Structure 1
């Protein structure tokens, strides 16, 4: 009976329901190894060699997986389909080999799925592969930089700037962007300008607002009415004569539906509609993903699972009728290739 390993117990429960009793599904509870916070964890002089240790709260989870492999002779790594998920699979395989839980003849494979649905999981099981070493190398480079920048620069900050938190590969760059933007805000000099608007009524009694755009035969720019005196003169020029409608132009307008969420647009919309911060939005999305309600949320891709498209079209047809379902589903593609 193969042992399938995922990150979280909630995800394990959902996948176990799809796979049935022929599989043992266990959770790693996230990353199982990390660089110890001390000198020498990354050695640039030795080809950036890295020393890993299993976190104290992860030892029992690694032991549970190792114990399961004593009875079940196959390991399937089913962590998330991104760089971090690939890294977790790599760490697990390395940690289990170090414990001799994986023997020379133990089959080890990697499966990925972007949605936790029965069809997506079973399809992934039919198409196993090995751990993607390119993704692992990308993770290792990022983790080494995190350590080298943060571990070496943070103590300098603490000495030079008492009360400073820490430095980091990403956070220090972001901090600079914020500071530069704040300096632009502080150096901004406000310039006064006025706009003239009129509330008008149609012969049918409908009110509408019109804005003055041309004065004295000249098209007005943003700062062409610089003060209250100029605005009063403009108002007098408008009120001293009758206003007429010279033409009415009507144009058909259409609005395309927004593409599926990627990580950034999901966070933006959650903030706009619900006031969620990025962390809260991702926590909610994680729970929805693990329950099989949405596809994987840490992505820049906007592709949709075929079964999700079919289910959405069926739901629209059942609720609103066939007239509201286009003949062909709308397909979205990323503008830039990763």
Structure 2
């Protein structure tokens, strides 16, 4: 008999169906042992030796696994294909060896990136040994988490009654939120004005912004008060303009790569309003399998990854689906190949993608969260293999007869929508007026250089500079990833802990630090600065 160990009972049930009666599949229900939160669990002076304990539930499950292992000819460790999964396999093997139940039993490690029959059977045909480099990476992180948390948390309990915990990643994430709040409080708003005009040059009117006044190019704060703005407005109304330049620049916009854990959490936050935790719970269910026509099938690949590459067969399937649904012109000449840019990316896994792109979102009946997340993943994967969007950026410059006043109109037109027919990546905060990325959209009318430009109307508008926005879940996850803080698999739990500890609260889906959170950060910065550094 072959004994297979996986993490979750849902996964165990599905895999048992694929493998048949010669296999018994048991679930470990996640991690089976942990470091007890007491002194001496990690001993730095004894070569960082670690002392593990299983809780009552974990001990019971390990006993069940040990009993089954006694009857087995082969034990197959098939936990998740990441560092945590490798660690669970190592823990199970350590316990089975301690219980002396293996004797002549053959032990193998297999990993699959998707829970489909073909992926599971292919993995079973290519077993390997436990990867001790991955296990050691897990042990180092776990020891660090324990030493930082166990060193700092008791100090906080003593010195700041009411504070609950500190942690290697948690405390740095909290500091980011607190630092942003301090930045907002220190921010001094500055007044500035802009002048815009409705102009006609023989055809339809268009909107132009004043860029030159009194012979000088205008910078953001040159029109700093109402008087100067109204003087500029009067100059525009009084001047007679000619079109001095018309410039058309072709441009291309390429699609974003398929999802990593981090980008999935960011986009689900922007587009669906999901918290990181809600995203990961839905993704876990899609990965572990959904009943379709009486058969349980995993709908997406493994959801904890920082890889952006996709399997060649997935890319081929994407190209076929694109040609069939959108037409040949939407398929680029050669497949798009993506490479990871994340600061501390280390997983060799594929990006998050549907296990079969032929299962389009409309053909599946999924509960609300699962359906919406699956559609997001499907569209992102399809878009990642589509042709670039072709755009034309146009600018029209107008100059007054005396050369002292200048206006500019900008616009962009999509000539071919390409991947935009399916998907466009969201942004956390819209660009402010005049900032890079602030395109005045829309098509501009055809005008000829040298033609007269008639000002129909001119307006002066007051604006104030704004402080940087508070972090949303999406922008905080993005910032943590940029700084190399934590791992994709930990973002959801870290953000949840900050809320549960009441260090932060959410206001309009933005993080606001509570007094308790600010106090903890100030204390750690003062006395334990190296634990909360992120620069």
TM-score (norm 1): 0.92
Aligned residues: 336
Unaligned 5+ segments in structure 1 are none
- Describe the superposition over 1:193-224 as per-residue Cα deviations: whole angstroms up to 9, x where unpaired: 1111223356443x532211111221111111
Match of 1:227 among 225, 228, 236: 225
Match of 1:267 in 2: 265
RMSD of Structure 2 on Structure 1 (CA): 1.9
How many angstroms apart in 2 are the aligned matches of 1:101 and 1:310?
46
Following superposition, the deviation at residue 238 of structure 1 comes to 0.6
Instruction: State the alpha-carbon separation in 2 of the partners of residues 261 and 68 from structure 1.
Output: 38
Partner of 1:172 in structure 2? Answer: 171
Q: Is the 8 A contact 2:72 2:105 kept in 1?
A: no
Q: Which has a greater percent of strand?
A: 2
2: distance between equivalents of 1:100 and 1:45?
A: 29
Is 1:313 the counterpart of 2:319? The answer is yes
Q: Helix, strand or coil for the counterpart of 1:193?
A: strand
For 2:320 and 2:26, the matched residues in 1 are separated by 35
After the TM superposition, list the runs of 4 or more consecutive aligned residues in structure 1 that deviate by more than 6 angstroms.
Answer: none
Deviation at 1:299, TM superposition (A): 1.4
Query: Which protein has greater RCO, CA pairs closer than 8 Å, 6+ apart?
Result: 2
CA change 1:96–1:326 in 2 (3 A) is: same
Secondary structure of the residue aligned to 1:5 is strand
Counterpart in the other structure of 1:333: 339
Contact 2:265/2:279, CA 8 A, preserved across alignment:
yes
For the structure 1 residues 177 and 75, does the alpha-carbon distance in structure 2 shift closer, same or farther, using more than 3 Å as the test?
same
Deviations 1:79-128 (A, max 9, x none): 1111111111101111122222222x211111122222333322222221
Report the more deviating stretch, 128-137 or 55-64. 55-64
Secondary structure of the 1:181 match is: helix
Q: Which has the higher helix share?
A: 1
- Alpha-carbon distance change, 122 to 237 in structure 1, aligned in 2, over 3 angstroms: same
Residue 146 of structure 1 is matched in structure 2 by: 145
Distance in 2 between residues matched to 1:235 and 1:6, nearest whole Å: 71
| SS of alignment partner, residue 52 of structure 1 | coil
Please give the alpha-carbon distance, in whole angstroms, between the structure 1 residues aligned to 2:285 and 2:266: 18
How far is the alpha carbon of 1:322 from its aligned partner? Answer: 3.6
C-alpha separation in 2, matches of 1:194 and 1:317: 49
Q: Distance in 1 between matches of 2:17 and 2:337?
A: 31
Q: What SS does the corresponding residue of 1:195 show, helix, strand or coil?
A: strand
Secondary structure of the corresponding residue to residue 247 of structure 2 = coil
Partners of 2:74 and 2:266 lie apart in 1 by: 42
Secondary structure of the 2:243 match is coil
Query: How far did residue 247 of structure 1 move?
Result: 3.2
Range with bigger deviation, 308-317 or 21-30: 308-317
> What CA deviation, in whole Å up to 9, does each residue of 1:53-80 have, x standing for no partner?
1121223322332222232221111111
- The answer for the alignment partner of 2:234 in structure 1 is 236
Q: Within 5 Å, which residues of 2 pair with 1:52-63?
A: 52-63=52-63
